[in-house]
């Protein structure tokens, strides 16, 4: 039997009616019901044109195994995760997050609201490929319950954030699922909210669903024109958040993480912060200054890190987790706490950003055939270690390799998980340092690829 991998780093995702089909959703439903054997599964969806189709197929599959289904309708992913912890033994979100409108996907959560671990996804795949599904007897088939949890979720976030504000906020929801939560949440907090792209529409007529700077640059001038204190932009399923300050400047994603890391460490008088391998030294600097410690984990595995290191805060770029509220990425808690942070500091967001140290980042890819990747990484690590030997403070090898240097600069060389490329990322404490380290690392990696190609090795 051909075993095609269904789950990637963010669940199942791909073009609708090609990779992601109603048939596949039915199988995932049957497989998940078989896996948990009994209990309740919460199901929700984003605003995509294909989400209802996939949801219905998935729910049929779940019901055929005898589990109970709670349908939550169109809500953001963090609200599904929270609801699963309250109501379910597992949860499913139909979403392709920030992908184009032509895609969709399926993300599975456990009863704590944590995305399924790799082993759990592999078990779902195994059941699908074996075809050994549980089949409920006629009198064991359960009903669907429908619940509107939006108000309860907003109340939970309000309780946790515990703050009233008078700030003016510009909110760009990308016509995604965040439209049904963010404006209401912020208004409940007292904020004056101006929305754009804030009605759900699976065609994403306003802008692309990914809130990377190029897609939302227009918010900068709007911030100034409207005189707001900050702008917040979200992705299609609203777990991600991007921010502009009151001057219309985009807040770099590492800086946003550093702001919260600093806040948590100061509140706790220390503690551990978990972040991914691709984030910068400004986070280490503020955490160490506050008496805390940073641990880095592979992309997509912050939950493991939180448990292992008992972290008070965890984040990947744009994806912030507040463990005291829940072990999922929660953009709504993030926006509430960010407003609280601005108010309580008595400063503007741009002033807060200025307190975070600036470093200089560059990233570029080197093309590298899949079969050369491992050897290239080994060669490059060896040579770069030789070249930098007296400057290295710490070597991390959880995904490719990363050299943290004594002066706070760092070099990361890691294989792309999805493309025939090796990523070279350098952050320097000065512009000049960035340039010289990047030139060194990029040349070493390019030469290693060239040498292998020439010799026809591997
Ligand atoms: Mg997302």
Query: Mean pLDDT over residues 21-46, rounded?
Result: 98
CB contact burial 96-112 (16+ within 10 A = b; e otherwise): bbbbebebbbbbbbbbe
Name the least confident of 3-12, 79-88, 157-166.
3-12
Give the pLDDT of residue 4: 63
Asked, for residue 298, whether it belongs to a domain, the answer is: yes
Output the domain CATH number for residue 21: 3.40.120.10
Q: Do 157 and 142 share a domain, yes or no?
A: no
d(CA 235, ligand 1 centre) in Å: 6
According to DSSP, the residues that pair with 230 across neighbouring strands are: 169
What angle (nearest 5°) sits at the alpha carbon of residue 108, between those of residues 104 and 112? 145
d(CA 318, ligand 1 centre) in Å: 9
Give the pLDDT of residue 457: 58
Strands 271-276 and 401-405: unpaired
What is the Cα 365 distance to its own chain's centre?
A: 22
Q: Which domain holds residue 100?
A: 12-148
Name the least confident of 180-184, 299-303, 408-412.
299-303
Residue 69 in contact with residue 35, Cβ under 8 Å? no
Coil, strand or helix: which one is 94? strand
Asked, for residue 343, whether it belongs to a domain, the answer is: no
**69 vs 62: CA distance, rounded Å:** 7
Residue 380 in contact with residue 451, Cβ under 8 Å? no
d(CA 97, ligand 1 centre) in Å: 4
d(CA 76, ligand 1 centre) in Å: 9
CB neighbour list of residue 28: distance below 8 Å, 6 or more residues apart: 6, 12, 58, 61, 92, 106, 108, 124, 128
Name the least confident of 27-36, 67-76, 269-278, 393-402.
393-402
Query: Mean pLDDT over residues 328-350, rounded?
Result: 98
Indicate which residue of 31, 51, 64, 97 is catalytic: 97
Q: Do 278 and 195 share a domain, yes or no?
A: no
pTM of the model: 0.92
Asked, for residue 335, whether it belongs to a domain, the answer is: no
**188 vs 160: CA distance, rounded Å:** 13
State both tokens at 315: 């984040």
Name the least confident of 62-66, 114-118, 141-145, 166-170.
114-118
| Number of folded domains that form the chain | 4
- Tokens 């744009």: give the residue: 318
What 8-state DSSP symbol labels residue 20? B
Inform me whether the pLDDT recorded for 418 exceeds 90: no
* Boundary of a domain, candidates 117, 148, 179: 148
Q: Do 207 and 294 share a domain, yes or no?
A: no
Give the pLDDT of residue 417: 73
pLDDT band at 458 (very low <50, low <70, confident <90, very high): low
d(CA 378, ligand 1 centre) in Å: 33
Asked, for residue 345, whether it belongs to a domain, the answer is: no
Asked, for residue 350, whether it belongs to a domain, the answer is: no
State both tokens at 429: 């404490």
Inform me whether the pLDDT recorded for 272 exceeds 50: yes
Say whether 97 is catalytic.
Answer: yes
d(CA 208, ligand 1 centre) in Å: 13
Residue 111 in contact with residue 84, Cβ under 8 Å? yes
Select the more confidently predicted residue: 297 or 456. 297
Positive/negative CA dihedral, 222, 226, 231, 233: negative
Q: Do 19 and 144 share a domain, yes or no?
A: yes
Q: Do 198 and 169 share a domain, yes or no?
A: yes
d(CA 456, ligand 1 centre) in Å: 41
Phi/psi-derived region of residue 97, left when phi > 0, alpha when psi is between -120 and 50, beta in every other case: left
Query: Mean pLDDT over residues 426-435, rounded?
Result: 96
Q: Do 310 and 405 share a domain, yes or no?
A: no
Q: Do 376 and 416 share a domain, yes or no?
A: yes
pLDDT band at 1 (very low <50, low <70, confident <90, very high): very low
d(CA 39, ligand 1 centre) in Å: 27
Q: Greatest CA span in the chain, whole angstroms? A: 72
* Boundary of a domain, candidates 219, 246, 273: 246
Coil, strand or helix: which one is 37? coil
Strand order in the sheet with 168-172: 192-196, 168-172, 230-234, 241-244
Shortest CA distance to 97 belongs to which of 218, 11, 214? 11
Give the pLDDT of residue 353: 98
* Boundary of a domain, candidates 148, 172, 187: 148
Q: Tell me how far CA of residue 218 lies from CA of 206, 209, 211, 231, 392, in angstroms.
A: 12, 14, 12, 11, 41
**447 vs 444: CA distance, rounded Å:** 5
294: exposed, middle or buried (Cβ count in 10 Å: 0-12, 13-18, 19+): buried
Q: Do 17 and 142 share a domain, yes or no?
A: yes
Q: Do 200 and 284 share a domain, yes or no?
A: no
Query: Mean pLDDT over residues 300-311, rounded?
Result: 92
**201 vs 22: CA distance, rounded Å:** 21
Give the pLDDT of residue 10: 77
Asked, for residue 333, whether it belongs to a domain, the answer is: no
Asked, for residue 341, whether it belongs to a domain, the answer is: no
d(CA 177, ligand 1 centre) in Å: 10
Strands 313-316 and 319-321: antiparallel
Give the pLDDT of residue 106: 97
Output the domain CATH number for residue 376: 3.30.310.50
Select the more confidently predicted residue: 299 or 190. 190
Q: What is the pLDDT of residues 153-196, one digit of tens each?
A: 999 999 999 999 999 999 999 999 999 999 999 999 999 999 99
**182 vs 196: CA distance, rounded Å:** 12
C-beta neighbour count of 9 within 10 angstroms: 12
Shortest CA distance to 253 belongs to which of 261, 245, 242? 242
Q: What is the pLDDT of residues 217-246, one digit of tens each?
A: 999 999 999 999 999 999 999 999 999 999
Q: Do 242 and 218 share a domain, yes or no?
A: yes
Asked, for residue 348, whether it belongs to a domain, the answer is: no
State both tokens at 181: 């939560």
Q: Do 366 and 314 share a domain, yes or no?
A: no
d(CA 201, ligand 1 centre) in Å: 16
Q: Do 222 and 263 share a domain, yes or no?
A: no
């Amino acid at each position: 039997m051909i075993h095609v991998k269904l789950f990637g780093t963010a669940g199942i995702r791909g073009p609708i009616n090609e990779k992601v089909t109603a048939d596949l959703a039915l199988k995932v439903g049957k497989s998940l019901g078989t896996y948990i054997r009994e209990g309740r599964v919460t199901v929700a969806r984003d605003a995509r044109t294909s989400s209802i189709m996939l949801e219905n197929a998935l729910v049929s599959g779940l019901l055929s195994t005898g589990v109970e289904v709670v349908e939550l309708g169109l809500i953001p992913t963090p609200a599904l995760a929270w609801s699963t912890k309250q109501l379910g033994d597992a949860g499913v979100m139909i979403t392709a997050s920030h992908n184009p409108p032509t895609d969709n996907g399926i993300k599975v959560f456990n009863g704590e609201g944590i995305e399924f671990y790799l082993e759990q996804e592999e078990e779902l795949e195994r059941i699908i490929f074996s075809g050994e599904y549980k089949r409920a007897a006629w009198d064991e088939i359960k009903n669907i319950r429908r619940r509107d949890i939006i108000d309860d979720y907003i109340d939970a976030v309000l309780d946790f954030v515990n703050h009233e504000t008078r700030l003016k906020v510009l909110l760009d929801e990308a016509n995604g699922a965040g439209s049904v939560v963010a404006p209401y949440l912020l208004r409940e907090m007292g904020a004056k909210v101006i929305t754009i792209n804030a009605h759900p529409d699976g065609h994403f007529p306003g802008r692309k669903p990914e809130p990377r700077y190029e897609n939302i640059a227009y918010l900068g001038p709007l911030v100034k024109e409207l005189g707001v204190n900050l702008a917040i932009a979200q992705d299609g399923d609203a777990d991600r958040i991007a921010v502009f300050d009151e001057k219309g400047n985009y807040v770099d994603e590492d800086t946003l993480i550093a702001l919260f890391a600093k806040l948590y460490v100061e509140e706790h008088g220390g503690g551990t912060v978990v972040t991914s391998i691709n984030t910068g030294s400004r986070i280490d600097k503020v955490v160490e200054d506050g008496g805390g410690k940073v641990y880095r984990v592979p992309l997509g595995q912050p939950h493991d890190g939180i448990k292992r290191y008992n972290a008070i805060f965890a984040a990947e770029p744009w994806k912030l987790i507040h463990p005291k509220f829940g072990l999922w990425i929660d953009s709504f808690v993030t926006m509430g706490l960010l407003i609280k942070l601005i108010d309580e500091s008595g400063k503007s967001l741009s002033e807060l950003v200025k307190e975070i140290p600036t470093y200089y980042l560059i990233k570029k890819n080197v093309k590298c055939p899949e079969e050369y990747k491992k050897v290239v990484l080994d060669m490059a690590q060896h040579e770069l270690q030789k070249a930098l030997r007296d400057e290295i403070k710490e070597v991390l090898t959880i995904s490719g390799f990363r050299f943290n240097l004594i002066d706070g600069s760092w070099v990361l060389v890691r294989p792309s998980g999805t493309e025939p490329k090796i990523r070279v990322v350098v952050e320097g404490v000065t512009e000049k340092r960035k340039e010289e380290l990047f030139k060194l690392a990029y040349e070493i990696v390019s030469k290693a690829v060239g040498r292998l190609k020439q010799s026809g090795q591997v």
